[in-house]
Structure 1
Amino acid sequence: MLYKFDFSFLLEKWPAFLNGAWLTIQLTVLSIALGFVVGTLCAVARVYGGRVLRLLVGFYVELIRNTPLLVQIFIVYFGLSSVGLKLSAETSAVIALVVNMGAYTTEIMRAGIQSIHRTQLEAADCLGLTRLQTILHVVLLPAIERVYPALSSQFVLLMLASSITSQISAEELTAVANNVQSDTYRSFEVYIIVAAIYLALSLLYRLAFKAIGLIIFERRRRLGTAL
């Protein structure tokens, strides 16, 4: 049986796909930024914090990394609603993605922080830098540079994983695709289009992170190896 492709519906539905892609970008850019901050703070706490703080961060990391993102999204959206805190689907999606991103970023950043040689910390002590100054100026930037490729890959994976938020009716790209295919009954064509858009977004994100790496890291700029 030969299947006849028909993409004519795209003439009418392309604004919906565009809006869905734009919301996907908004959700993921905000989640990446906040998740990076959360993960960096947790990584610093896990390396330099007290025993109780390290245990709490370790529990958070293991809990999030060993449970499905979909379950985490349901807990935020349905769980908080059941106790009286009603949030929109988009807000719930951002919170869940930030929590998830923060856990993975914690481990990536922890590896970067621990890769800083002890002699650099001793040199900072000799210069009279405070603990905070040492962490900010001697530890974090070199650590970020070392793990930047891994961070960039994790950020792209988060963008792709954001498709799960369609399960709580966040009107991102996958949710739009579900609505379009229910209207047109052209499932094959719809999801081919969506796959192509996600591929384009992945390439766009990688180019953006490469540009950011070239701007931030002078050594990588000289070598031309932002990722």
Structure 2
Amino acid sequence: MKRNILIAVVTAAALVGGGTATALAVAGDDDDSTSVTRTDDDRDDRGEDRSDDRDGDDDDGAVLAAAPGGVTAAEAITAALEHTPGTAVSAELDDGSWEVDVLAEGDTWHTVRIAPDSGKVLGAQKDDEDDAAEVRAALKGASVTAEDAAKAAAAKGTVVSVDLDDDGGDKGWEAETRASGGDARDWNVDPKTASVTPDRDDD
């Protein structure tokens, strides 16, 4: 009975668009052969895919900036209010900086950008918003500020955003945290007691 045995492994190096290609020929009992070609580009793509899986969504770079030793959400709010006095309504890590929305006197809106590594004010701009009345109504009787809400939510993970929910009947603060593993969670912070509960809409 004739048997075909793998007698050679041929490796050829060829220049393919600046990378190398490796060809592997394998012979079986039925003389069929399988050829597999891998390029450096293929390996690079796989590496990029793994890197993307580790990175998660686009906010992770910003999340790292808020890790211990960086500027927390509460600290960013404090810095923003020192620059632009008023009522902080939201704070969010966005495009490499904290963006804090402040409702100032005269019902004018301002967005103050804070460096996540130093706490310095990077800039501020006046915004054209017309929902000041709704926001003030939502905050009526509230004793918990955005800064307080950020501090309370920090017990659940690294706070990457805090925002006033002024819609519907459940008015209060909403916060998003990231755990050390990168998992995101949404929380509700009571505007009177600062108690933190999981967001019912959080998947």
Superposition TM-score, scaled by structure 1 size = 0.27
Between Structure 1 and Structure 2, the one with more strand by share is 2
Could you say which structure has the greater relative contact order, defined with CA pairs below 8 angstroms and 6 or more residues apart? 1
Between Structure 1 and Structure 2, the one with more helix by share is 1
Superposition TM-score, scaled by structure 2 size = 0.29
